Chains A and B, each alone.
Chain A
Amino acid sequence: MSSFLPVDSLPKYLSLSDLEPLEPFAQCAAADDANVDRYYLLFLYSLMNNDDIEEARFLLKRMSAARRTVTAGSKDAADISAQLSSVCKILASLWTKDYAKFFSIATDVLQSLPLESPEASILRMLVDHVRDANYQFVSRAFLSGALSDIAVYLGLSDIATMEFLQEKGWSASDEDPSTVIAPVLGIESPRHEAQQKARLDSLTSLITHMQRS
Chain B
Amino acid sequence: MNPQLSFLAALESVDFDGTEDAVALSLKERVLPIIQANATTISGNDGLINVNVTGHLPETSSSNGSHSKDGARDRIAGGTSDPEISLVPKYTIANDDQEAILTRTDPAKVSALWILALTAKYGNQTADISEFVSSANRLLDNISGAQAKLVPEHYRALLYMIAGAADALDNPNLLLRQLLNAALSFSPAHDTLSPAHALFLIQALKAKQYKLALQLLKYDVDKFDSAYALTYQDHLRFHYYGAMVLIGMKQYEKAIEYLAIVLCAPGFPCSMVQIEALKKTILLQLILYGKHSLKLPRMANDFTSHSYRAFARPYDHFAVAFENGDPTVLKLVWNQINNIFSADGNYGLGLHALTAFRKQRIQKLRKTFMTVPMKYIESNDVDILENGPSTKAFVLAMIQDGDLMAKISQKSSTSPVIVVFQDGSITSSHLDALEAKLDSVRQLNEKIAIADREVGQSREYISRKLQNTTAPGGFHGRGSGLEDLEGYDDSMSMMEL
B370: interface (CB < 8 Å): no
Interface contact A141-B497, CB-CB below 8 Å: no
Query: B162: shortest Cβ distance to chain A, in Å?
Result: 15
Min CB distance B179 to A, Å, is 13
**Contact A173 B250, beta carbon cutoff 8 Å:** no
Mask of A137-148 contacts with B, CB within 8 angstroms, 1/0: 100111111100
A210 to B438, CA, bound (A): 9
Q: Which residue of B lies closest to A27 (CB)?
A: B173
Are A144 and B426 in touch, CB under 8 angstroms?
no
Partner of B438, one of A59, A145, A207: A207
Question: Smallest distance from the beta carbon of B118 to chain A beta carbons, Å?
Answer: 21
Residue contact A145 to B173, C-beta cutoff 8 Å = no
Query: In the complex, are the beta carbons of A54 and B497 less than 8 A apart?
Result: no
Which of A73-81, A102-110, A113-121, A195-203 lies at the binding interface?
Answer: A195-203
Interface check A124, CB cutoff 8 A: no
> Does B127 sit within 8 A of A, measured CB to CB?
no
Mask, B406-434, CB within 8 Å of A = 1, is 11111111100100100000111001001
* Contact flag A146-B413 (CB < 8 Å), given A91-B497, A199-B431: yes
Interface residues of B in 429-474 (CB under 8 A from A): 431, 434-435, 438, 441-442, 445
A140 touches B407 (CB 8 A): yes
Shortest CB-to-CB span from B392 to chain A, Å, is 8
- Cβ–Cβ contact A145 & B410, under 8 A: yes
Q: How far is it, in angstroms, between the C-alpha of A20 and the C-alpha of B173 when the chains are bound?
A: 14
**B contact residues around A60 at 8 Å (CB):** 497
A168 CB within 8 Å of chain B: no
**Chain A residues with CB under 8 A of B412:** 173, 175-176, 178-179
Max count, chain A CB within 10 A of own CB: residue among B209, B411, B431, B497: B497
Q: Of B173, B208, B250, B431, which one neighbours A24 at CB under 8 angstroms?
A: B173
The total of chain A residues at the interface (CB under 8 A) is 39
Q: Is A12 an interface residue (CB 8 A)?
A: no
Given the known inter-chain contacts A62-B208, A146-B413, please indicate yes or no for A27 contacting B171, CB distance below 8 A.
Answer: yes
Which residue of A24, A27, A143 contacts B408 across the interface (Cβ within 8 Å)? A143
Q: Using an 8 Å CB-CB cutoff, how does the interface string of A142-173 with B read, 1 for contact, 0 for none?
A: 11111001000000000000000000000001
Is B108 on the interface with A (CB-CB < 8 A)?
no
What residues of A have a CB within 8 angstroms of the CB of B497 in the complex? 57, 60, 88, 91-92, 95
* Cα(A60)–Cα(B497), bound, Å: 8
**Does A179 lie within 8 Å of B413, measured CB to CB?**
yes
Q: With A and B bound together, what is the CA distance between A114 and B400 in angstroms?
A: 34
Closest B residue to A175 by beta carbon equals B412
**Does B189 have its Cβ within 8 Å of any Cβ on chain A?**
no
Whether, in the assembled complex, B207 has its beta carbon less than 8 Å from a beta carbon of chain A, the answer is yes
Cβ of B384 under 8 Å from chain A: no
Closest residue on chain A to residue B442 by CB atoms: A210
Which A residues between 4 and 21 are near B, CB-CB below 8 angstroms? none
Q: Is residue B100 within 8 Å, beta carbon to beta carbon, of the partner chain?
A: no
In the bound complex, how far is the Cα of B409 from the Cα of A92, in angstroms?
Answer: 29
CB pair A62 B207 closer than 8 Å: yes
Taking CB atoms, residues of chain B closer than 8 Å to A203 are 431, 434-435, 438
In the complex, A176 Cα to B414 Cα: how many Å?
9
Contact A200 B413 (CB under 8 A): no
Task: Assess the B413–A178 pair: CB atoms within 8 A.
Answer: yes
B393 on interface, CB distance cutoff 8 Å? yes
A60, A92, A141 — which one has the most chain B CB atoms within 10 A of its CB?
Answer: A141
Question: How many Å from the CB of B144 to the closest CB on chain A?
Answer: 24
Whether B399 is near chain A, meaning CB under 8 Å from some CB there, is yes
Chain B contacts with A in 173-216, Cβ cutoff 8 A = 173, 177, 207-211
Query: Cβ of B209 and Cβ of A62 under 8 Å apart?
Result: yes
Instruction: Provide the bound-state CA to CA distance between A92 and B497, in Å.
Output: 7
| Nearest A residue to B422, CB-CB | A140
Interface pair B426/A196, CB less than 8 Å apart:
yes
B249 within 8 A of A: yes
Q: Does B32 contact A (CB under 8 A)?
A: no
* B427 contact set on A, CB distance < 8 A: 196
Q: Quick check: A179 and B209 within 8 Å, CB to CB?
A: no
Q: Which of A61-83 contact B (CB under 8 A)?
A: 61-62, 65-66
CA distance A149 to B390 in the complex (A): 14
Q: Quick check: is A125 within 8 A (CB to CB) of the other chain?
A: no
Q: In the docked arrangement, what's the CA distance between A146 and B396, Å?
A: 14
A128 within 8 A of B: no
With A and B bound together, what is the CA distance between A154 and B210 in angstroms? 31
Q: A145-B410, A200-B426, A203-B435 are in contact. Are A97 and B397 (CB under 8 A)?
A: yes
- Per the 8 Å Cβ criterion, residues 214-256 of B in contact with A are 248-250
CA distance A184 to B434 in the complex (A): 30
B79 to chain A minimum Cβ distance, whole angstroms, is 37
Beta-carbon contacts under 8 Å, A176-213 to B: 176, 178-179, 196, 199-200, 203, 206-207, 210
Show 28 residue pairs from A and B whose CB-CB distance is below 8 angstroms, ordered by the A residue. Answer: A24-B177, A54-B248, A55-B211, A58-B208, A58-B210, A61-B208, A62-B173, A62-B209, A66-B173, A95-B494, A97-B389, A97-B400, A137-B399, A140-B399, A141-B400, A141-B408, A142-B408, A143-B420, A145-B417, A176-B411, A176-B414, A179-B411, A179-B412, A199-B431, A200-B426, A200-B431, A206-B438, A210-B441
Known: A24-B173, A55-B211, A149-B410. 9 other contacts (CB 8 A): A27-B173, A57-B497, A97-B397, A137-B400, A143-B407, A176-B413, A176-B414, A179-B411, A203-B431
